[in-house]
Amino acid sequence: MDVSELLDDLNKPQRQAVAAPPGHARILAGAGSGKTRVLVHRIAWLIQAEGFAPANILAVTFTNKAAAEMRGRIENMLGYPIGGMWVGTFHGLAHRLLRAHWQDVDLPQSFQILDSDDQLRMLKRVIRAMDLDEQQWPAKQAQWFINAQKDEGLRAKHIQAGHDPYSQKMLAIYAAYESSCQRAGVVDFAELLLRCHELWLKRPDILAIYQQRFRQILVDEFQDTNTIQYAWLRLLAGDSGHLFIVGDDDQSIYGWRGARIENIQKFHQDYPDADTIRLEQNYRSTGNILAAANAVIANNRERLGKALWTEDADGEQVQLYHAYNERDEAAFIVQQIAEWIQQGGQRSETAVLYRSNAQSRVIEEALLQANMPYRVYGGLRFFERAEIKDVLAYLRLIANRLDDAAFERVVNTPTRGIGAATMGQCRQHARELNLSLWQAATEMLQEKRLPARAANALNQFLTLVDSLTPVDSSITLHELTALVIDESGLRSFFGKDSSEKGQGRIENLDELINATREFTAPEEAEAMTPLDAFLSHAALEAGENQGNKWDDCVQLMTLHSAKGLEFPLVFMPGMEEGLFPGQKSIDDPARLAEERRLCYVGMTRARQRLTLLYTENRFLYGQGMLQRPSRFISEIPAEQLHEVRARQHSSHTGLAAKANTDSSLSDIRQGQQVMHTKFGPGVIIDSEGTGSHARVQVNFKHAGTKWLVLAYAKLEFL
Ligand SMILES: Nc1ncnc2c1ncn2[C@@H]1O[C@H](COP(=O)(O)OP(=O)(O)OP(=O)(O)O)[C@@H](O)[C@H]1O
Ligand SMILES: [Mg+2]
């Protein structure tokens, strides 16, 4: 592609942004207006027209998948590989830097990454070791506290303990956790960035090398950067680097995790000479979808404000489906997807976006029953499954004997007679002498401090790990993995379970061997052993890429993980008060505003058809509840909303089973005048179904036309 072609399929403000002279710039624009597209073209432009080397460019994306796509698109445009360019998530980039400078940041060369589940386990151990009551000091709370501090760039030593016992104790846990991590040579996600930031502060010489290299820094989804990320960017840009940031204040949805929407304005103050470019034309969604989303977000105050319009046709109205319960809701979604496919659509063009992970189960069951392949993003990731983590823990211990978390996980998995008492002694010995568990166990064996049986078992474990540890590079990563799975006894342990679950575990173990066989270390991992590179990949990879077999699948994910994506057909189930917006945000204006932004993000993922669903009864978190439709539904203008019903009802069980026999369908006739407690007076214009499935369509005088379930509507017949 030559230079002028890079601007061909862009509109005027997009072109202006792409071809702006090198300098700081801020692209502020609503969903689907081409921000990500502009960023991609901008990189190609910098290389092609401004003569920057790919190595001068660093781009930050929100997911690994987005990073891979971005690189692919730019290489396509330019027609050659751009290996020297760095593109990745904040975590991925910081990790790469720490690997390159492990000595300068005081980490062992084969340091390992703790994912959030590992972090929680580590904290539990720390809290137990401090002799604290785990009920009173839940690890989860400490995890929140610690991550929030790290996101603000604060270590335990930076924080002044308040007078209240709570913050004093949290600080003490934070400090103990820090030293445990340091001793074990492990870093959690937030630590990656914090430590990288500290490296730059304490080693200006190293920072200068990167400042000279990365003269162009581009950041997508800037509205969700947190304090430390922004500080990191500012340091890297220094006086000479240029920051090109794109974002949308209406799509800031990670405030609960420390993101600072105000970074967008701060950027403006920090870089007053930066151009601000606004994009207002939306290329993604139909007119109706866009109007509906715009109307919802208009209810938020303190917006930077922008208008979005489209040349696209109005398209269909937003569909609204009122379900009896979550099974009905799921059945409707499956039915609609089946129709879409019948009409020639692809499964991968359809997405179900939900507020809470717990909602996916019922939908998954319905899809399974209908034999419809699907994949869940961001749920339990492949690398987070218990059996996979067991194998990874062996591998981690092979890579790094100091890794106490890994030691704890597999010392007695599968069971080999190392009991709680033995482990208790090991822990105590480790604590007293400030040793790793591995060292403590070794010493205790040498000093013969354990009863014979326990000593034997422990010795077997240590010998096993030693014997699995490669002495040279002649054994490949997948051979090693296969060996670990067999020799550790994990394969025969899971093999004994002949249930479907047990079999699934064995399949997963084999899939892990495949994954290691297919794994090619990214170029930044050249200094690492293949094992270290793979372990980092397993911790950082968000389960986004799992090969082609996922290709034509219905896409299931939380609203949060749908950011930046688009699909022709989008379903948003669970549009109910208490679920979306969530219960805790109902009385908190700031949280409510964030929920509304999340709703806006969800709605604007849809290109052609958007379907919102809510149920009257929902069984969630272990209890049945009567639900009210989400306020976000009522914020959509009537012109954009169309209530739909299932074409043919599948059988419904459960809460809706007991029909109100008083008003069975035989009593119903068109033209019947009715009164509804909420919608007021109306006339029945249609009906369908029988018994508990009986529904009527009522034309309400003041509330428009609605389908109601007879069993619930409590209609008064006039
Ligand atoms: N000038 C254009 N001509 C044609 N299509 C365009 C144009 N600009 C953007 N698009 C298309 O519009 C869609 C949305 O673009 P993109 O994903 O870049 O938007 P975005 O602003 O990053 O959205 P989000 O806020 O959701 O991240 C994409 O399919 C993109 O290819
Ligand atoms: Mg985008």
Amino acid 17 reads A
One-letter amino acid at 343 equals Q
- State the average pLDDT over residues 197-210: 97
Q: What is the pLDDT of residue 541?
A: 72
Instruction: Give the mean model confidence (pLDDT) for residues 606-622.
Output: 89
The residue nearest atom 16 of ligand 1, judged by CA position, is 34
Confidence of residue 651 (pLDDT cuts 50, 70, 90): very low
Residue carrying structure tokens 């809290």:
127
CA 302 to centroid of ligand 1, rounded, Å: 25
Residues 278-294 have a mean pLDDT of: 95
CB of 41 closer than 6 angstroms to any ligand 1 atom: no
Protein residue whose Cα sits closest to atom 18 of ligand 1: 34
> What phi, psi does 574 have (nearest 5°)?
75, 35
Residue of the nearest CA to atom 9 in ligand 1?
34
| Test site for ligand 1: of 283, 290, 563, most ligand atoms within 8 A of the Cβ | 283
Kindly give the distance from the C-alpha atom of residue 215 to the centroid of ligand 1, in angstroms, as a whole number. 26
Q: How far is the CA of 16 from the centre of ligand 1 (A)?
A: 16
Give the pair of three-digit tokens for residue 11.
Answer: 């509109």
Our CA angle for 627, 632, 637, nearest 5°, is: 125
Kindly state the average pLDDT of the residues 202-221: 97
Percent of the chain at pLDDT exceeding 70: 94
DSSP states of 658-688: S--GGG-GGG--TT-EEEETTTEEEEEEEEE
What's the total number of domains in the chain? 5
In the DSSP assignment, the letter for residue 259 is B
Residue 211: the pLDDT is: 97
Specify whether 31 is located in the same domain as 119: no
CB within 8 Å of 682: residues ≥ 6 apart = 673, 674, 675, 676, 698, 699, 700, 701, 703
CB of 11 within 6 A of ligand 1: the answer is yes
Q: pLDDT digits over 425-436, tens only?
A: 999 999 899 899
Tell me, yes or no, whether 372 and 397 share the same domain. Answer: no
Of the residues 590, 623, 645, the one at which a domain ends: 645
User: Does 422 share its domain with 519?
Assistant: yes
Confirm or reject: Cβ of 7 under 6 Å from ligand 1: no
- 287 part of a folded domain: no
pLDDT at 302: 83
Q: Which atom of ligand 1 is nearest to the CA of 564?
A: 27
Return all residues near 291 (Cβ < 8 A) that are at least 6 apart: 637, 639, 640
Distance 565 CA to ligand 2 centre (A): 7
Ligand closest to 32 (CA) is 1
Residue 450 placed within a domain: yes
The bridge status of strand 641-644 relative to strand 673-676 is: unpaired
Q: Give residues with Cβ within 8 angstroms of 638, minimum separation 6.
A: 704
Last residue of a domain, one of 160, 184, 208: 184
Q: Residue 636: inside a domain, yes or no?
A: yes
Length of the chain: 718
Residues 465/481, Cβ–Cβ less than 8 Å: no
Give the ipTM.
0.99
Which of 8, 15, 36, 62 has the most ligand 1 atoms within 8 A of CB, as the residue to mutate? 36
- Which tops the pLDDT comparison, 213 or 661? 213
Cβ neighbours for 306, distance < 8 A, ≥ 6 positions apart: 28, 29, 30, 250, 278, 280
Neighbours of ion ligand 2 (CB under 5 A): 35-36, 564
**289, pLDDT greater than 80:** yes
Task: Please choose from 26, 224, 284 the residue to mutate so as to test ligand 1's pocket, defined by most ligand atoms within 8 A of CB.
Answer: 284
Is the model's pLDDT at 70 over the cut of 90?
yes
86-98 tens-digit pLDDT:
999 999 999 999 9
Are 416 and 470 in the same domain?
A: yes
Compute the average pLDDT of residues 584-608.
96
Show the tokens assigned to 497. Answer: 């379970």
Residue 333 pLDDT greater than 90, yes or no:
yes
Residue 447's SS3 state is coil
Does the structure show a pLDDT above 90 at 246?
yes
Q: What is the pTM of this model?
A: 0.80
Indicate the average pLDDT of the chain.
89
Q: Residue 252's domain is classified under what CATH number?
A: 3.40.50.300
Could you say which of 130, 149, 184 is where a domain stops? 184
For the cut 90, the answer to whether the pLDDT of residue 499 exceeds it is no
Q: Is the separation of the CB atoms in 192 and 181 below 8 Å? A: no
Whether residues 407 and 524 fall in one domain: yes
Range of the domain at 307: 297-381+549-645
Q: Is the pLDDT of residue 592 over 60?
A: yes
For the Cβ of 554 lying below 6 angstroms from any atom of ligand 1, the answer is no
571-585: average pLDDT: 94
> What are the residue numbers of the active site?
35-36, 220-221, 251, 605
Residue-by-residue DSSP string for 526-576: TTS-HHHHHHHHHHH--S----GGGTT-EEEEETGGGTT--EEEEEE---B
Residues 208 and 270 in one domain: yes
Token code pair at residue 428: 């105590």
221 touches 61 (CB < 8 A): yes
Question: What tokens does 284 get?
Answer: 């993604």
Of all protein residues, whose CA lies closest to atom 23 belonging to ligand 1? 32
Q: At 363, is the secondary structure helix, strand, or coil?
A: helix
Residue 57 lies in a domain: yes
Is there a single domain that holds both residue 464 and residue 394? yes
Q: Which residues pair with 410 in a beta bridge?
A: none
Question: Which atom of ligand 1 is found nearest the CA of 282?
Answer: 12
- Closest atom of ligand 1 relative to the 10 alpha carbon: 1
pLDDT, position 165: 86
Residues in CB range of 9: below 8 A, 6 or more apart: none
Q: How far is the CA of 150 from the centre of ligand 2 (A)?
A: 27
Judge if 501 and 423 occupy the same domain.
yes
- Looking at the CA of 283, which ligand is closest? 1
For residue 567, the CA-to-ligand 1 centroid distance in Å is: 12
Q: Which residue's CA lies nearest to atom 5 of ligand 1?
A: 283
Q: Is 698 in the pocket of ligand 1 (CB under 6 A)?
A: no
Model confidence at 652, pLDDT cuts 50, 70, 90, reads very low
Is 711 within the bounds of a domain?
yes
Please indicate whether residue 658 or residue 20 has the higher confidence score (pLDDT).
20
Question: How does pLDDT run across 675-696, given as a tens digit for each residue?
Answer: 888 788 888 887 776 666 677 8
What's residue 656's pLDDT?
Answer: 36
pLDDT at 646 over 90: no
Tally the C-alpha atoms within 13 A of residue 27's C-alpha that lie toward its C-beta.
31
Given a cut of 60, is residue 453 above it in pLDDT? yes
Measured between its terminal Cα atoms, the distance across the chain in Å is 71
Binding residues for ATP: 29-36
Asked if residue 461 and residue 364 are part of one domain, the reply reads no
Structure token digits, residue 45: 């432009």
Q: How far apart are CA 96 and CA 301, in angstroms?
A: 40
Amino acid 110: pLDDT: 85
Same domain for 526 and 411, yes or no, is yes
